[in-house]
Amino acid sequence: MTPKNTSVDAKGYNNLDLHPQDEKFMRLALKQAQKAEQLGEVPIGAIIVDKSGKIISKSTNLRETKLTTLGHAELVAIHRACKKLNSWRLIDCTLYVTLEPCFMCAGALVQSRISRVVYGAADPKGGALESLSQLGNDPRLNHRFNVTAGVLAEESTALLKNFFKKKRSK
C-alpha cells in the first residue's frame, strides 16, 4: 500500500517521501514481528539502518521474554545500535518499526538524535508520533526527526489482529 502521507503532512512533518528501500527494510521489521509471535509476544518488530543502508540492529518485542518494561522492540533495537556504534547518539540512522511507537519509545528516539523513523500501522490508543502526539516534530524539544507513516501497514495490522484473535480463542 502507499504511505498515508497526507495525514502525516497535516501534523507538520517535513519529510513525506517514501524512500526506495523503505518497503524492503519494513519487510525485515515484519520478519522480526513474526519472531515475536513465536515467543508469545505481541508481534512488533524494529530494525535500525545507518546512512549507507547497513542494518546495525534489529529486535522483536521482548517484554514477556525478558520481563522488563524496557522490552519494546524499538528500545531493544536502540540499545543494540548504541552498543554497535559505541555511542548514545544514533545520528544519520533510520528506525523501521511495524507499529507506531508509544511515548516511551518515541521519547527514546528523540533522545537518540535519530534522523528518521518509518512505521507501519498507526496506534490510535498509544502512538506518540501521530495519533496522540507528534513527538518527532515538537518545537519544544531539542531534536526533531523525519517521519514516514503507513509503510506495509496492512501486513502489520494483520499480524496483530491474528495474534489477539488466537489469544482470545485460547
Active-site residue set: 74
Q: In 52-129, where do the E strands start and end? A: 55-60, 94-99, 116-121
Q: Where would I find the H helices in 67-140? A: 73-85, 103-112
Q: How far is the CB of 158 from a copy of itself (least distance, A)?
A: 23
Q: How far is the CB of 125 from a copy of itself (least distance, A)?
A: 7
Q: Is residue 105 involved in binding a copy of itself (CB under 8 A)?
A: yes
Cα–Cα distance for residue pair 77/96, rounded to 1 Å: 10
Do the Cβ atoms of 32 and 60 come closer than 8 Å?
Answer: yes
Cα–Cα distance for residue pair 113/111, rounded to 1 Å: 6
Q: Is residue 39 involved in binding a copy of itself (CB under 8 A)?
A: no
In the shown chain, the binding pattern of residues 119 to 138 toward a copy of itself, with x for contact by CB under 8 A and - for none, equals ------xx-x---xx-x--x
When the beta carbons of 33 and 109 are compared against a copy of itself, the nearer one is 109
- Find the binder of a copy of itself among 6, 142, 168, 170 (CB under 8 A): 142
Q: How far is the CB of 166 from a copy of itself (least distance, A)?
A: 21
Q: Is residue 30 involved in binding a copy of itself (CB under 8 A)?
A: no
**DSSP letter assigned to residue 164:** H
Cα–Cα distance for residue pair 31/167, rounded to 1 Å: 20
Do the Cβ atoms of 144 and 117 come closer than 8 Å?
Answer: no
**DSSP letter assigned to residue 51:** T
Q: How far is the CB of 104 from a copy of itself (least distance, A)?
A: 3
- Which 40-99 positions form the footprint of a copy of itself (CB under 8 A)? 63-64, 67-72, 75, 78-79, 82-83, 86-90
Do the Cβ atoms of 72 and 45 come closer than 8 Å?
Answer: no
Q: Is residue 110 involved in binding a copy of itself (CB under 8 A)?
A: yes
Residues that bind a copy of itself (CB under 8 A): 63-64, 67-72, 75, 78-79, 82-83, 86-90, 102-108, 110-112, 125-126, 128, 132-133, 135, 138, 140-142
